[in-house]
Amino acid sequence: MEALVGFLQGISGEDRDEAELTEAEQDQLEALVDGQQDRPATWAQNILCFHYGRCVAPWTGDGGEPKSLPRVRPEDMPGPALSLQPNPTANWSVAKVRLSSDDATATLRVLDVTGKSVASYRVTGREPQLVLDTRMLAPGAYLVELMSGAEKLASERLIVQP
Protein backbone atom coordinates (compact mmCIF):
# COMPACT_ATOMS: atom_id res chain seq x y z
CA MET A 1 0.00 0.00 0.00
CA GLU A 2 2.87 2.40 0.77
CA ALA A 3 4.31 1.88 -2.71
CA LEU A 4 0.91 2.69 -4.23
CA VAL A 5 0.56 5.86 -2.14
CA GLY A 6 4.10 6.92 -3.07
CA PHE A 7 3.39 6.28 -6.74
CA LEU A 8 0.24 8.42 -6.70
CA GLN A 9 1.95 11.17 -4.68
CA GLY A 10 4.60 11.35 -7.38
CA ILE A 11 1.93 11.78 -10.06
CA SER A 12 0.13 14.40 -7.98
CA GLY A 13 3.41 16.23 -7.33
CA GLU A 14 3.78 16.69 -11.07
CA ASP A 15 0.36 18.38 -11.16
CA ARG A 16 -1.28 15.43 -12.95
CA ASP A 17 -4.08 13.13 -11.94
CA GLU A 18 -4.62 9.40 -12.42
CA ALA A 19 -6.21 9.97 -15.84
CA GLU A 20 -2.90 11.28 -17.24
CA LEU A 21 -0.57 8.30 -16.78
CA THR A 22 1.93 7.33 -19.44
CA GLU A 23 1.89 3.75 -20.68
CA ALA A 24 5.01 3.00 -18.62
CA GLU A 25 3.28 4.40 -15.51
CA GLN A 26 0.21 2.29 -16.27
CA ASP A 27 2.48 -0.77 -16.43
CA GLN A 28 4.10 0.25 -13.15
CA LEU A 29 0.71 0.71 -11.45
CA GLU A 30 -0.45 -2.64 -12.79
CA ALA A 31 2.69 -4.30 -11.39
CA LEU A 32 2.10 -2.68 -7.99
CA VAL A 33 -1.38 -4.18 -7.67
CA ASP A 34 -0.76 -7.51 -9.40
CA GLY A 35 -2.08 -10.30 -7.20
CA GLN A 36 -3.18 -7.89 -4.45
CA GLN A 37 -6.76 -8.10 -3.22
CA ASP A 38 -6.97 -5.27 -0.68
CA ARG A 39 -8.95 -2.04 -1.08
CA PRO A 40 -6.08 0.10 -2.36
CA ALA A 41 -5.29 -2.50 -5.01
CA THR A 42 -8.95 -2.63 -6.01
CA TRP A 43 -9.05 1.16 -6.19
CA ALA A 44 -5.91 1.24 -8.36
CA GLN A 45 -7.33 -1.52 -10.57
CA ASN A 46 -10.48 0.58 -10.99
CA ILE A 47 -8.31 3.49 -12.19
CA LEU A 48 -6.62 1.22 -14.73
CA CYS A 49 -9.96 -0.16 -15.93
CA PHE A 50 -11.91 3.11 -16.06
CA HIS A 51 -9.27 5.37 -17.62
CA TYR A 52 -7.23 2.92 -19.70
CA GLY A 53 -9.41 -0.13 -20.40
CA ARG A 54 -6.94 -2.40 -18.56
CA CYS A 55 -9.59 -4.38 -16.69
CA VAL A 56 -9.19 -7.49 -14.56
CA ALA A 57 -12.04 -9.68 -13.33
CA PRO A 58 -12.75 -9.52 -9.57
CA TRP A 59 -11.08 -12.06 -7.29
CA THR A 60 -13.27 -14.41 -5.29
CA GLY A 61 -12.80 -17.06 -2.64
CA ASP A 62 -9.72 -18.18 -0.77
CA GLY A 63 -8.01 -19.75 -3.76
CA GLY A 64 -7.15 -16.41 -5.35
CA GLU A 65 -8.75 -17.42 -8.61
CA PRO A 66 -10.51 -14.86 -10.80
CA LYS A 67 -14.23 -15.21 -11.38
CA SER A 68 -13.79 -15.14 -15.16
CA LEU A 69 -11.03 -14.40 -17.66
CA PRO A 70 -8.14 -12.55 -16.03
CA ARG A 71 -8.12 -9.62 -18.46
CA VAL A 72 -10.92 -8.09 -20.46
CA ARG A 73 -10.08 -5.30 -22.88
CA PRO A 74 -12.68 -3.30 -24.84
CA GLU A 75 -11.23 -4.40 -28.18
CA ASP A 76 -11.70 -8.05 -27.14
CA MET A 77 -15.38 -7.58 -26.35
CA PRO A 78 -18.01 -8.90 -28.74
CA GLY A 79 -20.07 -6.70 -31.07
CA PRO A 80 -22.91 -4.30 -30.34
CA ALA A 81 -24.63 -4.32 -26.97
CA LEU A 82 -27.36 -2.49 -25.07
CA SER A 83 -28.20 -2.34 -21.37
CA LEU A 84 -30.76 -0.28 -19.46
CA GLN A 85 -30.36 0.82 -15.86
CA PRO A 86 -32.40 1.19 -13.73
CA ASN A 87 -34.93 -1.22 -15.07
CA PRO A 88 -37.78 -1.17 -14.04
CA THR A 89 -37.98 2.61 -13.79
CA ALA A 90 -40.46 5.41 -13.19
CA ASN A 91 -38.67 8.59 -14.33
CA TRP A 92 -35.56 7.78 -16.36
CA SER A 93 -33.25 5.03 -17.45
CA VAL A 94 -29.68 5.14 -18.77
CA ALA A 95 -29.09 3.26 -22.00
CA LYS A 96 -25.50 2.05 -22.15
CA VAL A 97 -24.59 1.26 -25.74
CA ARG A 98 -21.57 -0.42 -27.29
CA LEU A 99 -21.12 -0.21 -31.03
CA SER A 100 -18.63 -2.09 -33.20
CA SER A 101 -16.56 0.86 -34.39
CA ASP A 102 -15.79 4.44 -33.39
CA ASP A 103 -17.38 6.00 -36.45
CA ALA A 104 -20.56 3.94 -36.20
CA THR A 105 -23.89 5.68 -35.94
CA ALA A 106 -27.07 4.04 -34.84
CA THR A 107 -30.57 4.79 -33.63
CA LEU A 108 -32.11 3.82 -30.32
CA ARG A 109 -35.87 3.31 -30.65
CA VAL A 110 -38.42 2.87 -27.87
CA LEU A 111 -41.43 0.84 -29.03
CA ASP A 112 -44.71 0.26 -27.21
CA VAL A 113 -46.43 -3.15 -27.07
CA THR A 114 -48.08 -2.56 -30.44
CA GLY A 115 -44.70 -1.92 -32.10
CA LYS A 116 -45.30 1.82 -32.48
CA SER A 117 -42.21 3.98 -32.02
CA VAL A 118 -42.75 6.34 -29.05
CA ALA A 119 -39.21 7.79 -28.88
CA SER A 120 -36.06 7.79 -30.98
CA TYR A 121 -32.49 8.82 -30.16
CA ARG A 122 -29.44 9.19 -32.39
CA VAL A 123 -26.42 7.24 -31.11
CA THR A 124 -22.85 8.22 -32.04
CA GLY A 125 -19.50 7.03 -30.74
CA ARG A 126 -18.34 3.63 -29.64
CA GLU A 127 -19.69 3.47 -26.06
CA PRO A 128 -22.16 6.30 -25.47
CA GLN A 129 -24.71 6.55 -22.68
CA LEU A 130 -28.11 8.13 -23.24
CA VAL A 131 -30.63 9.16 -20.62
CA LEU A 132 -34.13 8.04 -21.56
CA ASP A 133 -36.83 10.25 -20.02
CA THR A 134 -39.66 7.82 -19.23
CA ARG A 135 -41.96 10.30 -17.46
CA MET A 136 -43.87 10.80 -20.73
CA LEU A 137 -44.49 7.06 -21.12
CA ALA A 138 -47.52 5.25 -19.75
CA PRO A 139 -46.73 2.50 -17.23
CA GLY A 140 -46.06 -0.82 -18.96
CA ALA A 141 -43.56 -2.77 -21.02
CA TYR A 142 -41.56 -1.28 -23.88
CA LEU A 143 -38.98 -2.64 -26.28
CA VAL A 144 -35.79 -0.61 -26.73
CA GLU A 145 -34.00 -1.45 -29.97
CA LEU A 146 -30.54 -0.46 -31.13
CA MET A 147 -30.72 -0.13 -34.91
CA SER A 148 -28.17 0.53 -37.64
CA GLY A 149 -30.22 1.35 -40.70
CA ALA A 150 -32.70 -1.53 -41.03
CA GLU A 151 -30.52 -3.96 -39.04
CA LYS A 152 -31.36 -4.63 -35.39
CA LEU A 153 -28.09 -4.71 -33.42
CA ALA A 154 -29.51 -5.33 -29.94
CA SER A 155 -32.71 -5.00 -27.94
CA GLU A 156 -33.82 -4.88 -24.30
CA ARG A 157 -37.18 -4.84 -22.58
CA LEU A 158 -37.88 -1.73 -20.48
CA ILE A 159 -40.50 -1.70 -17.73
CA VAL A 160 -41.99 1.69 -16.82
CA GLN A 161 -43.67 1.81 -13.43
CA PRO A 162 -46.29 4.31 -12.26
Q: Which of 26, 50, 75 is the last residue of a domain?
A: 75
Could you tell me if 13 and 40 lie in one domain? yes
Q: Which pLDDT score, from 0 to 100, does residue 73 have?
A: 55
Percent of the chain with pLDDT over 70: 83
Residues 71 and 92 in one domain: no
pLDDT tens digits for range 148-161: 888 888 889 999 99
Mean pLDDT of the 13-17 span:
80
102 in the same domain as 32: no
Q: Which of 75, 94, 126 is the last residue of a domain?
A: 75
Query: For helices 39-52 and 2-13, what crossing angle results, to 10°?
Result: 40
Q: 109: domain CATH number?
A: 2.60.40.1930
pTM: 0.51
Q: Kindly state whether residues 82 and 147 are assigned to the same domain.
A: yes
| β-sheet bridge partners, residue 8 | none
Examine the pLDDT at 143 and tell me if it is beyond 60: yes
Please say which residue of 75, 109, 137 terminates a domain: 75
Nearest to 158 by CA among 80, 94, 79, 81: 94
Segments forming the whole domain that contains residue 32: 2-75
Question: What is the tens place of the pLDDT at every residue in 51-92?
Answer: 888 887 666 655 555 555 455 555 555 667 889 989 888 889
Give the span between the Cα atoms of 8 and 6, in whole angstroms. Answer: 6
CB neighbour list of residue 104: distance below 8 Å, 6 or more residues apart: 124, 126, 148
- Give yes or no: residues 56 and 129 share one domain: no
How many structural domains comprise the chain? 2
Measured at the CA of 123, the angle between CA 122 and CA 124, to 5 degrees, comes to 120
The reply to whether 92 and 20 lie within a common domain is: no
Average pLDDT over residues 91-117: 84
